[in-house]
Every structure is written in C-alpha cells, then in structure tokens.
Amino acid sequence: MKTALVAGSTGLVGSQLLELLLKDERYSKAIAISRKKLTLTHSKLVNVICELSQFASHQKDLKADDVFCCLGTTMRQAKSKEAFRAVDFDAPFSLAKISREQGAKRFLLVSALGANKSSSIFYNRVKGEAEESIRQIGFDASHIFRPSLLLGTRKEQRSGEEAAKVVYKFFGWLVPNKYQAIESIKVARAMLAFANEEQFGNFVHESREMQNF
C-alpha cells in the first residue's frame, strides 16, 4: 500500500481529498501538513505541523509516494504580491523538490483556470510559473488540475468568491462549459483517480474534464 501526503489539508479541496484518502484501501498512511493541529483523528492519519516556509526542516516527515498540493490563497488574503507568491509558488515548489528527494513518485497540484507563465495577469502568471517549476523536477508523473470557480463551503470566507457564486447561481447556465463552476469534491476525486493511474509524464487536467468525476 502507498503513503499519501496532502498540503492544504484544511482547504476546500484538500479537506475533502484527505477524507477520501483515509477511506481508500490503497493507502496505508495519509500525511497531512497543517499550520495548526487538525481536529480530525484517524488511525491512518499523521499530522505534520509546520509553516509553509519550513518544509526543509521537516524533510524526513515528508516521505510519500503520492503528494497532493492543494495550497492557494488570494491577493485579498495575502495583502501583497510577495506574500501571494510565497503561498502559490514558493511553497508548492519547495514541497515538490523536497518530496522528490524523499522518493515521491507523483505530484498532483491544484492550480487554476487560466494559469499561464507568460500571462500579464499576476495571479495567472504565478500559477503558470508554479506549474512549470513542478514539471521541471522530474517526477514519474505530475498532474496539474485547473479548476474554474470552486463550489463548496470554506472554513474561511472569500468575499469575491462568494459574490461570484451568487451571480453564478442565477446566470451559470450562460457560462460556456470550459468556465462552468465545479464542485470541490469533483476536483478531489479527480486527483485521487489520476494518482492511481500508471502514467508517466506531465499532464494537465482542465476544469471541464474534472466535471466527469
């Protein structure tokens, strides 16, 4: 059986993914990285408590077969471009590099629709740069997931996201398939599914593909 590692385990996608992993018989252990101790308990769960900037100090605790990175913030929450980049680029890259050194075979990253390292939009550019950095590390397989607007209940509220959900509720039928909002559990299911396929190389999964899960 395998060991899974989840970064962002208290977030919208990460929390649901962690629950799926704990129920999945293909995994004997699920390592969850968090800044504070999780309230969730399970015989398979190992909670590694550390700041995103301190992965290097916990290298021996980050040994897993499949690494799921569900980290992400917003400019409103981060309050600066530097702080945003620390969460959405520096942390995923550091985790990927360290976990690969510890023997990880697969890395699965939640990115965003529109991610592009050449974009003039800061958010999209950082997401795209993070994707590219993961591809360069050399995992047996890397999977990038680009969801559209995520539907679900977060522990912390994101005002812009909540406003978008209200608009989508009434006008979602006008949105092209590529941009349709997606339930966070579908993203979690897709990540788990692709982590257990015998594929080699770098893959990108757009939001409309994840709608099938």
- Residue 129 CA to residue 140 CA, distance in Å, equals 20
- Residue 46 CA to residue 19 CA, distance in Å, equals 13
- Enter the tokens of residue 172: 């979602």
- Enter the tokens of residue 200: 């080699």
Element (H, E) at 180: none
Bridge partners (DSSP) of residue 31 are 5, 46
Q: Which of 63, 123, 165, 179 is catalytic?
A: 123
Is 165 one of the catalytic residues? no
Is 123 one of the catalytic residues? yes
Q: Which of 127, 155, 179, 186 is catalytic?
A: 127
Element (H, E) at 17: helix 12-23
Task: Please write down the long-range contacts of 80-89, taking CB distance under 8 Å and 24 or more positions apart.
Answer: 81/122, 84/122, 84/123, 84/126, 85/126, 86/52, 86/53, 87/52, 88/126, 88/127, 88/130, 89/126, 89/129, 89/130, 89/133
- Enter the tokens of residue 46: 């190992």
- Given a contact cutoff of 8 angstroms between Cβ atoms, the answer to whether 181 and 150 are in contact is yes
- Enter the tokens of residue 195: 């982590």
Active site residues: 123, 127
